[in-house]
Structure 1
């Protein structure tokens, strides 16, 4: 009989998975019914994909796999989860309004795991429910890594508290088997206080994204906009900016003609065309509506022209009835690049996801103007939820920008 490894020698990051089945399934079903079915009927597939962070110490070992579901509605999926090694906890509705007991059961189990003897290093919460923000704060305060798997809009505070967020479109790609690489492994935290060495990381795709964005800009660019582009290209930077701790330090070391100054809130520029003397004066620093919205809501910080080209490309590609949303996003991204208005695939996915939140159906009859109007409605709702207030002039500016100029007021 093979002797068990002592805890310090067992390979892999010790992790725990807590799945709010009702929240994830309904969110996925609104975005992609096929992906929702795969989530519900083949949990082993995507759980294994999340486990495969790499070889040896950098792979994940899910010591706890819990799924919380309403047995009245979703009992037919129970067998799939138990066969995949999940512990299924029934959370029936306890109120006349249909509110289940998932939240309290999940939180109690998660806190037990945090205080337990296993030394869990990374906690996964599969839910877009911002009620779990306080739970993620507890994990973070205990110096544990946290990953949120979201199938729906994620509150800004919830997103920022987590070390990593598996966005809806990324999760859909995992479910469809179209993601080419496993989810990056997080740092491994020794529960005695140290940080275990991690694998050497490849060059972040954010480096090229930031370089192209800054070198194509008509002047110095506000740091908030550059940071948003970087995180869109590589969400894993959110944890600690590639080991540099903060955005300013990360962007300052890029080199290749990229310069950064922390003055006036932070600015980035192309040294071949500009210098620190080209930075706006304090009186001139008035963030545009796109910067304000992108900073607070995670809406892609694209220009009006980029949004317009995206809606035109979407209209054209929808006529061809693409097979999957992932394929649609890739084609639209390529079309925008060809048209001279480059946008990232993540930005296209974010917009496509937004249509689902306002119940707009992506059909082959949708026009660019209709797409623009639906997306703008989603942006306005995101701003409302974030408690952003605008005067009448700013509301007009917001609609014109988000719609790519299709809406003027």
Structure 2
């Protein structure tokens, strides 16, 4: 096959505002030069061949805007109409979608109608890329799946699992911002959001320091040799995150370029080695003959009932209560010591927490950053937020989302949620501002 016939439908307001809440600079780059990320997307997470864009439609409210500060620090309105010419130059058909009400501009229903029309067209569209986090379009994804079309969701928002689970592929905020920034789009380390009492996920982010190019077959044999040595010499179960990070450092760019030698993750690459007597949990690997299984295997963090309901509703990570304040503290430390960059913030914070012995994946950091931004306390804010403010904003966002879907908490239940997630009430937050 020479290419994949693809249709892309972009809900600009939804995607741009979602990105802007997380990282304004990257959001503006996304809207100012869509041709650049479109070229990268044509070969990102593809199946048999690169994409050929047969339909490119951008649904945009020309009178929409966000608050933004110019380079001199002056507050101004950044109108979406400013970006219309950029999408026209990139080959998009721009469809103006003025608001019908205070919250809706009709872009979602227009996308649904246009996509369903495309199903009955003479041209066979093999793949549909829906750039939106609006879960109202879940029925569209179901319709496309029944028609045996491949579907890809592109969304920087914290989209509902009932929506994203239908798609064949999801580009979340981390992948989308990497795509726009021209960085490697990494899908590893996203599946597991559950923590045992210790351990880490199976991914690291270290690049080979000397930049030496390594042959694929040679690198795989080196990978096999190093894993076998560690496995045979280990006196106890091996922390998978530590070993994965070590291998990334030693083998370099071939890990990212081949996505763990075509296996899509560290754990699956290890499984391909067929090590004798191998057992694996979410965070450890061990020899069932020589090693005593780690205590955390099979354990699930027990949550208070109100927290359990919130976790089930929004697929929150099941972390021990004491880990949440450490996450807020680490994010605050990043905000006070770095110029904010979402991708760097996620990796840096994950690495810092790992040095503390906390098995917090990049996906968990991403979830907290979404909640913090939606709670009115983005990390790029000046002055930089404190750990107390970050915790308050995250829990405020979670409770607000719960209220929107009709999940009511009593005062005592809300207090239990706040206590478990390590967030103080606003009137008890001391000097936080």
Instruction: Indicate how the Cα distance of structure 1 residues 310 and 77 shifts in structure 2: closer, same or farther if over 3 A, else same.
Output: same
> Of residues 303, 306, 321 in structure 2, which corresponds to 1:288?
303
Match of 2:37 in 1: 46
Whole-angstrom CA distance in 2 between matches of 1:96 and 1:57: 43
Distance between the aligned counterparts of 2:20 and 2:55, measured in 1? 26
Match of 2:51? Answer: 60
TM normalised by structure 2 equals 0.66
Q: RMSD over aligned Cα, in angstroms? A: 4.1
Structure 2: gaps of 5 or more residues: 65-79, 201-262, 265-270
Give the corresponding residue for 2:184: 180
Report the TM-score when normalising by structure 1.
Answer: 0.69
Alignment match, 1:399: 418
Post-superposition offset of 1:66: 0.8
Give the Cα separation in 2 of the matches to 1:98 and 1:55.
34
Question: Match for residue 115 of structure 1?
Answer: 120
Structure 1: distance between partners of 2:375 and 2:195? 32
Alpha-carbon distance in 2 for matches of 1:215, 1:97: 46
Provide the C-alpha distance between the structure 2 equivalents of 1:258 and 1:213, rounded to a whole number of angstroms. 16
C-alpha distance in structure 1 between counterparts of 2:5 and 2:110, whole Å: 21
Residue 366 of structure 1 aligns to a residue whose secondary structure is coil
The CA deviation string for residues 83-116 of structure 1, in whole angstroms up to 9 with x for no partner, is: 11111122234x4647434233222211111222
Alignment match, 1:29:
20
SS at match of 2:19: helix
User: Structure 1: how far apart are the matches of 2:337 and 2:14?
Assistant: 32
Q: Deviations over 1:140-171 (max 9, x none)?
A: 22122222211323133222222322212321
Q: Is the 8 A contact 1:318 1:364 kept in 2?
A: no
- Tell me which moved more, 33-42 or 357-366: 357-366
Deviation of 1:351 (Å): 1.0
1:211, 1:33 → 2: CA distance? 30
| Match status 1:313 vs 2:318 | no
What is the match of residue 377 of structure 1?
396
1:292-329 alpha-carbon deviations (Å, 9 max, x no partner): 54343132332223222211212222221334222222
Within 5 Å, which residues of 2 pair with 1:342-381? 342-362=359-379, 363-381=382-400
Distance 1:364 1:126, change over 3 A: same
Counterpart CA distance in 2 for 1:328 and 1:398 is: 26
Once the two structures are TM-superposed, the CA of residue 286 in structure 1 deviates from its matched residue by 10
Q: Any conservation in 2 of the 1:308–1:406 contact (CA below 8 Å)?
A: no
- How many residue pairs get aligned? The number is 337
Kindly indicate whether the alpha-carbon contact (under 8 Å) linking 1:357 and 1:378 is maintained by their aligned counterparts in 2: yes
Gaps spanning 5+ residues in structure 1: where? 1-8, 185-203, 218-241, 244-251, 261-267
Deviation at 1:391, TM superposition (A): 5.8
